[in-house]
Amino acid sequence: MQTAQLRIGTRGSALALAQAHETRERLMAAHGLPAEAFAVEVISTSGDRIQDRPLSQAGGKGLFTKEIEEALIDGRIDIAVHSSKDMPTQLPEGLRLSAFLEREDPRDAFIGGTAARLKDLREGAVVGSSSLRRQALIRRMRPDIEVVMFRGNVQTRLKKLDEGRVDGTLLAHAGLRRLGMTDRITDLMAPEEFPPAPGQGAICIESRTGDARVEAMLAAIDHAETGTVLACERAFLAALDGSCRTPIAGLARIDGDRLSFSGLILTPDGSVSHDISAEGRAGDAAKIGREAGERVRAKAGSSFFETWE
Protein backbone atom coordinates (compact mmCIF):
# COMPACT_ATOMS: atom_id res chain seq x y z
CA MET A 1 0.00 0.00 0.00
CA GLN A 2 1.29 3.46 -0.90
CA THR A 3 2.20 5.67 2.03
CA ALA A 4 0.41 9.03 1.98
CA GLN A 5 2.72 11.82 0.84
CA LEU A 6 0.57 14.49 2.45
CA ARG A 7 -1.64 14.33 5.53
CA ILE A 8 -4.53 16.81 5.40
CA GLY A 9 -6.11 17.90 8.70
CA THR A 10 -9.73 19.02 8.83
CA ARG A 11 -12.79 19.29 11.02
CA GLY A 12 -15.32 16.49 10.62
CA SER A 13 -18.42 18.32 9.39
CA ALA A 14 -19.76 17.60 5.91
CA LEU A 15 -18.71 21.06 4.77
CA ALA A 16 -15.20 20.79 6.26
CA LEU A 17 -14.75 17.40 4.59
CA ALA A 18 -15.97 18.79 1.26
CA GLN A 19 -13.34 21.52 1.53
CA ALA A 20 -10.60 19.03 2.40
CA HIS A 21 -11.58 16.79 -0.50
CA GLU A 22 -11.63 19.76 -2.88
CA THR A 23 -8.10 20.60 -1.75
CA ARG A 24 -7.01 16.99 -2.25
CA GLU A 25 -8.53 16.87 -5.75
CA ARG A 26 -6.76 20.07 -6.77
CA LEU A 27 -3.45 18.72 -5.49
CA MET A 28 -4.02 15.41 -7.30
CA ALA A 29 -4.67 17.26 -10.57
CA ALA A 30 -1.76 19.66 -10.14
CA HIS A 31 0.81 16.97 -9.37
CA GLY A 32 -0.58 13.92 -11.18
CA LEU A 33 -0.93 11.96 -7.95
CA PRO A 34 -3.56 9.35 -6.99
CA ALA A 35 -5.98 9.80 -4.10
CA GLU A 36 -3.92 7.31 -2.06
CA ALA A 37 -1.08 9.85 -1.94
CA PHE A 38 -3.19 11.93 0.45
CA ALA A 39 -4.65 11.05 3.84
CA VAL A 40 -7.55 13.13 5.18
CA GLU A 41 -7.31 13.22 8.98
CA VAL A 42 -10.44 14.30 10.88
CA ILE A 43 -9.71 16.25 14.06
CA SER A 44 -12.42 17.15 16.57
CA THR A 45 -12.26 20.80 17.68
CA SER A 46 -13.61 22.60 20.73
CA GLY A 47 -15.84 24.68 18.47
CA ASP A 48 -17.54 21.55 17.18
CA ARG A 49 -18.05 20.11 20.67
CA ILE A 50 -19.40 23.26 22.33
CA GLN A 51 -23.03 23.60 21.25
CA ASP A 52 -24.73 25.04 24.33
CA ARG A 53 -23.55 28.66 24.14
CA PRO A 54 -22.31 31.27 21.66
CA LEU A 55 -18.66 30.96 20.63
CA SER A 56 -18.14 34.55 21.80
CA GLN A 57 -18.71 33.29 25.36
CA ALA A 58 -16.54 30.21 24.93
CA GLY A 59 -13.36 31.64 23.46
CA GLY A 60 -13.94 32.90 19.92
CA LYS A 61 -12.68 31.84 16.52
CA GLY A 62 -9.68 29.87 17.75
CA LEU A 63 -12.01 27.14 19.00
CA PHE A 64 -12.35 25.90 15.42
CA THR A 65 -8.60 25.79 14.78
CA LYS A 66 -6.77 25.08 18.07
CA GLU A 67 -6.65 21.27 17.99
CA ILE A 68 -5.93 21.19 14.25
CA GLU A 69 -3.05 23.63 14.66
CA GLU A 70 -1.66 21.55 17.53
CA ALA A 71 -1.61 18.52 15.21
CA LEU A 72 0.17 20.61 12.57
CA ILE A 73 2.80 21.85 15.03
CA ASP A 74 3.33 18.30 16.36
CA GLY A 75 3.81 16.93 12.84
CA ARG A 76 0.77 14.63 12.94
CA ILE A 77 -0.55 16.36 9.80
CA ASP A 78 1.22 18.28 7.03
CA ILE A 79 -1.43 20.86 6.13
CA ALA A 80 -4.70 22.10 7.61
CA VAL A 81 -7.70 23.11 5.52
CA HIS A 82 -9.92 25.83 6.98
CA SER A 83 -12.75 28.19 6.12
CA SER A 84 -10.91 31.52 5.96
CA LYS A 85 -13.61 33.31 7.94
CA ASP A 86 -12.91 31.00 10.90
CA MET A 87 -9.21 31.91 11.07
CA PRO A 88 -7.94 34.22 13.82
CA THR A 89 -5.76 37.05 12.54
CA GLN A 90 -2.87 35.92 14.75
CA LEU A 91 -1.53 32.44 14.03
CA PRO A 92 0.59 30.31 16.37
CA GLU A 93 4.33 30.72 16.02
CA GLY A 94 5.71 28.49 13.29
CA LEU A 95 2.50 28.36 11.22
CA ARG A 96 1.41 30.36 8.17
CA LEU A 97 -1.35 30.54 5.60
CA SER A 98 0.43 29.13 2.55
CA ALA A 99 -2.33 28.98 -0.05
CA PHE A 100 -5.89 30.01 -0.86
CA LEU A 101 -8.24 28.26 -3.24
CA GLU A 102 -10.22 30.45 -5.63
CA ARG A 103 -12.96 32.19 -3.70
CA GLU A 104 -16.56 31.11 -4.11
CA ASP A 105 -19.48 33.58 -3.97
CA PRO A 106 -19.01 35.39 -0.63
CA ARG A 107 -22.67 36.35 -0.17
CA ASP A 108 -24.97 35.16 2.60
CA ALA A 109 -27.96 33.04 1.62
CA PHE A 110 -31.35 33.29 3.31
CA ILE A 111 -33.30 30.08 3.78
CA GLY A 112 -36.87 30.98 4.56
CA GLY A 113 -39.44 28.72 6.15
CA THR A 114 -42.43 31.05 6.22
CA ALA A 115 -41.30 33.70 3.71
CA ALA A 116 -38.78 33.66 0.86
CA ARG A 117 -37.02 36.87 1.87
CA LEU A 118 -35.86 38.27 5.19
CA LYS A 119 -37.62 41.52 4.30
CA ASP A 120 -40.93 39.68 3.87
CA LEU A 121 -41.05 37.88 7.21
CA ARG A 122 -44.03 38.67 9.41
CA GLU A 123 -43.61 41.05 12.34
CA GLY A 124 -42.35 39.10 15.34
CA ALA A 125 -40.92 36.27 13.25
CA VAL A 126 -37.94 34.31 14.59
CA VAL A 127 -34.63 34.00 12.72
CA GLY A 128 -31.79 31.75 13.89
CA SER A 129 -28.09 32.56 13.56
CA SER A 130 -24.94 31.89 15.58
CA SER A 131 -22.97 34.70 13.87
CA LEU A 132 -22.85 38.02 15.73
CA ARG A 133 -22.38 39.78 12.39
CA ARG A 134 -25.50 38.20 10.90
CA GLN A 135 -27.46 38.80 14.10
CA ALA A 136 -26.53 42.50 14.07
CA LEU A 137 -27.32 42.88 10.36
CA ILE A 138 -30.68 41.13 10.80
CA ARG A 139 -31.55 43.46 13.66
CA ARG A 140 -30.47 46.49 11.63
CA MET A 141 -32.65 45.42 8.70
CA ARG A 142 -35.60 44.09 10.71
CA PRO A 143 -35.60 45.39 14.31
CA ASP A 144 -39.14 44.01 14.72
CA ILE A 145 -38.16 40.34 14.52
CA GLU A 146 -36.57 38.07 17.11
CA VAL A 147 -33.06 36.70 16.59
CA VAL A 148 -32.07 33.51 18.41
CA MET A 149 -28.75 31.66 18.75
CA PHE A 150 -28.53 28.82 16.21
CA ARG A 151 -25.48 26.57 16.65
CA GLY A 152 -24.62 23.41 14.73
CA ASN A 153 -23.45 22.40 11.28
CA VAL A 154 -25.36 23.19 8.09
CA GLN A 155 -27.50 20.05 8.21
CA THR A 156 -28.37 20.58 11.89
CA ARG A 157 -29.47 24.15 11.29
CA LEU A 158 -31.60 23.22 8.30
CA LYS A 159 -33.23 20.41 10.31
CA LYS A 160 -34.17 22.91 13.03
CA LEU A 161 -35.65 25.17 10.36
CA ASP A 162 -37.63 22.29 8.85
CA GLU A 163 -38.97 21.44 12.31
CA GLY A 164 -40.42 24.95 12.52
CA ARG A 165 -38.25 26.18 15.38
CA VAL A 166 -37.50 29.36 13.43
CA ASP A 167 -38.97 31.19 10.43
CA GLY A 168 -35.64 31.44 8.64
CA THR A 169 -31.87 31.27 8.90
CA LEU A 170 -28.79 32.50 7.05
CA LEU A 171 -25.85 30.45 5.80
CA ALA A 172 -22.89 31.13 3.54
CA HIS A 173 -23.79 30.71 -0.12
CA ALA A 174 -20.33 29.21 -0.71
CA GLY A 175 -20.89 26.43 1.81
CA LEU A 176 -24.25 25.50 0.33
CA ARG A 177 -22.68 25.41 -3.14
CA ARG A 178 -19.89 23.12 -1.95
CA LEU A 179 -22.46 20.81 -0.38
CA GLY A 180 -24.71 20.79 -3.46
CA MET A 181 -27.56 22.28 -1.42
CA THR A 182 -28.31 25.51 -3.28
CA ASP A 183 -31.90 24.29 -3.83
CA ARG A 184 -32.56 25.26 -0.18
CA ILE A 185 -31.79 28.94 -0.83
CA THR A 186 -34.80 31.25 -1.04
CA ASP A 187 -32.89 34.53 -1.39
CA LEU A 188 -29.33 35.80 -1.77
CA MET A 189 -28.37 38.82 0.31
CA ALA A 190 -26.88 41.78 -1.56
CA PRO A 191 -23.43 42.66 -0.15
CA GLU A 192 -24.36 46.36 -0.18
CA GLU A 193 -27.06 45.85 2.47
CA PHE A 194 -25.89 42.60 4.08
CA PRO A 195 -22.08 42.49 3.73
CA PRO A 196 -20.25 39.20 4.35
CA ALA A 197 -17.66 38.30 6.95
CA PRO A 198 -14.02 38.93 6.06
CA GLY A 199 -12.74 35.82 4.31
CA GLN A 200 -16.18 34.33 3.68
CA GLY A 201 -16.31 31.93 0.74
CA ALA A 202 -12.56 31.23 0.62
CA ILE A 203 -10.73 28.05 1.64
CA CYS A 204 -7.29 28.62 3.16
CA ILE A 205 -4.51 26.12 3.73
CA GLU A 206 -2.21 26.38 6.75
CA SER A 207 1.23 24.79 6.97
CA ARG A 208 4.43 24.90 8.98
CA THR A 209 6.75 27.81 8.21
CA GLY A 210 9.77 26.71 6.23
CA ASP A 211 8.37 23.37 5.07
CA ALA A 212 9.72 23.66 1.53
CA ARG A 213 8.27 20.37 0.27
CA VAL A 214 4.75 21.26 1.35
CA GLU A 215 4.97 24.85 0.17
CA ALA A 216 6.10 23.70 -3.28
CA MET A 217 3.07 21.42 -3.51
CA LEU A 218 0.68 24.16 -2.36
CA ALA A 219 2.11 26.78 -4.71
CA ALA A 220 0.60 24.87 -7.63
CA ILE A 221 -2.97 25.37 -6.35
CA ASP A 222 -2.67 28.83 -4.77
CA HIS A 223 -5.05 31.43 -6.24
CA ALA A 224 -3.15 34.70 -6.04
CA GLU A 225 -6.13 37.04 -6.41
CA THR A 226 -7.97 35.38 -3.54
CA GLY A 227 -4.85 35.69 -1.39
CA THR A 228 -4.66 39.39 -2.21
CA VAL A 229 -8.27 40.26 -1.32
CA LEU A 230 -8.03 38.22 1.87
CA ALA A 231 -4.83 40.03 2.85
CA CYS A 232 -6.89 43.22 2.76
CA GLU A 233 -9.88 41.81 4.63
CA ARG A 234 -7.77 40.12 7.31
CA ALA A 235 -5.72 43.30 7.84
CA PHE A 236 -8.99 45.21 8.37
CA LEU A 237 -10.07 42.60 10.91
CA ALA A 238 -6.70 42.69 12.68
CA ALA A 239 -6.80 46.49 12.98
CA LEU A 240 -10.12 46.13 14.79
CA ASP A 241 -8.96 43.23 16.96
CA GLY A 242 -11.68 41.21 15.25
CA SER A 243 -12.95 38.00 16.83
CA CYS A 244 -16.23 36.21 17.39
CA ARG A 245 -17.09 38.95 19.90
CA THR A 246 -17.19 41.64 17.23
CA PRO A 247 -19.83 42.20 14.50
CA ILE A 248 -17.54 43.08 11.58
CA ALA A 249 -18.11 42.80 7.84
CA GLY A 250 -15.66 43.40 5.01
CA LEU A 251 -15.30 42.64 1.32
CA ALA A 252 -12.44 43.43 -1.07
CA ARG A 253 -12.62 43.18 -4.86
CA ILE A 254 -9.98 43.40 -7.58
CA ASP A 255 -10.37 45.01 -10.98
CA GLY A 256 -7.16 44.85 -12.98
CA ASP A 257 -4.41 46.14 -10.74
CA ARG A 258 -6.82 48.08 -8.50
CA LEU A 259 -8.42 46.91 -5.28
CA SER A 260 -11.57 48.33 -3.70
CA PHE A 261 -12.68 47.55 -0.16
CA SER A 262 -15.83 48.19 1.85
CA GLY A 263 -16.07 47.49 5.57
CA LEU A 264 -18.68 47.80 8.30
CA ILE A 265 -18.76 47.60 12.08
CA LEU A 266 -21.96 47.36 14.08
CA THR A 267 -23.14 47.23 17.65
CA PRO A 268 -24.58 43.78 18.45
CA ASP A 269 -28.13 45.14 18.44
CA GLY A 270 -27.61 46.64 14.98
CA SER A 271 -28.72 50.10 16.11
CA VAL A 272 -25.40 51.84 15.43
CA SER A 273 -23.05 51.16 12.53
CA HIS A 274 -20.08 52.76 10.81
CA ASP A 275 -18.99 51.97 7.29
CA ILE A 276 -15.76 52.64 5.46
CA SER A 277 -14.55 52.32 1.89
CA ALA A 278 -11.07 52.45 0.43
CA GLU A 279 -9.23 51.69 -2.77
CA GLY A 280 -5.73 51.56 -4.13
CA ARG A 281 -3.17 49.32 -5.78
CA ALA A 282 -3.82 45.61 -5.38
CA GLY A 283 -0.18 45.27 -4.32
CA ASP A 284 -0.99 47.39 -1.26
CA ALA A 285 -3.88 45.16 -0.17
CA ALA A 286 -2.81 44.68 3.45
CA LYS A 287 -2.03 48.39 3.86
CA ILE A 288 -5.45 49.36 2.47
CA GLY A 289 -7.23 47.02 4.87
CA ARG A 290 -5.19 48.06 7.89
CA GLU A 291 -5.68 51.78 7.26
CA ALA A 292 -9.41 51.28 6.67
CA GLY A 293 -9.64 49.52 10.03
CA GLU A 294 -7.74 52.30 11.76
CA ARG A 295 -9.94 54.98 10.18
CA VAL A 296 -13.23 53.32 11.07
CA ARG A 297 -11.98 52.72 14.62
CA ALA A 298 -11.19 56.43 14.98
CA LYS A 299 -14.51 57.35 13.38
CA ALA A 300 -16.51 55.20 15.80
CA GLY A 301 -14.66 56.27 18.94
CA SER A 302 -13.61 54.13 21.90
CA SER A 303 -17.07 54.13 23.50
CA PHE A 304 -18.47 52.26 20.49
CA PHE A 305 -16.20 49.28 21.11
CA GLU A 306 -17.04 49.12 24.80
CA THR A 307 -20.55 47.97 23.85
CA TRP A 308 -19.02 44.75 22.43
CA GLU A 309 -17.73 43.50 25.77
Which residues participate in catalysis according to the annotation? Answer: 86
C-beta of residue 69 within 8 angstroms of C-beta of residue 36:
no
**Beta-bridge mates of residue 79:** 8, 207
CA 81 – CA 234 distance, rounded (Å) = 17
* 95-100: strand order across its sheet: 38-42, 6-10, 79-83, 203-208, 95-100
Query: 26 burial class (0-12, 13-18, 19+ CB within 10 angstroms)?
Result: buried
- Residues present in the chain in total: 309
CA 47 – CA 29 distance, rounded (Å) = 32
The closest alpha carbon to 42, from 15, 62, 60, belongs to 15
For residue 165, CA distances in Å to 53, 147, 220 come to: 17, 12, 45
